[in-house]
Amino acid sequence: MYLDQLNAIGNCLVLAAISYVGHEQTVLEIIDDCQRAMEEEREGAIGPWEQRELDYARVAVRSGFLRLALVAAEKALIVSQLPRDEYEYGFNFGNAI
């Protein structure tokens, strides 16, 4: 699941490791693609944890942290696949800190 998006993230991480210059739009497009893929998988519904990670990713791009943005987008994809009990525990524990 989400293999295309994960590959795009991996490829862009390599580009960002070389230089951040000129890759902001590519990172934003990857984040948008991740969101679309999750919406399609869940019939338009994205969980609060995924949304928080995607929002964080967009803020990271605006702040100039492209690799951080890509990692946040990857995290959104990963948490969307967690079993419900693990998702609830992880989301609630993350909010408690």
Integer-rounded Cα Rg, in Å, for the chain is 13
Closest-CA residue to 55 (of 33, 34, 72):
72
The ranges assigned to domains in the chain are 3-96
Q: What is the pLDDT of residues 22-74, one digit of tens each?
A: 999 999 999 999 999 999 998 888 999 999 999 999 999 999 999 999 999 99
In this prediction, residue 43 carries a pLDDT of 82
- Closest by alpha carbon to 47, among 97, 72, 82? 82
Q: What is the pLDDT of residue 25?
A: 96
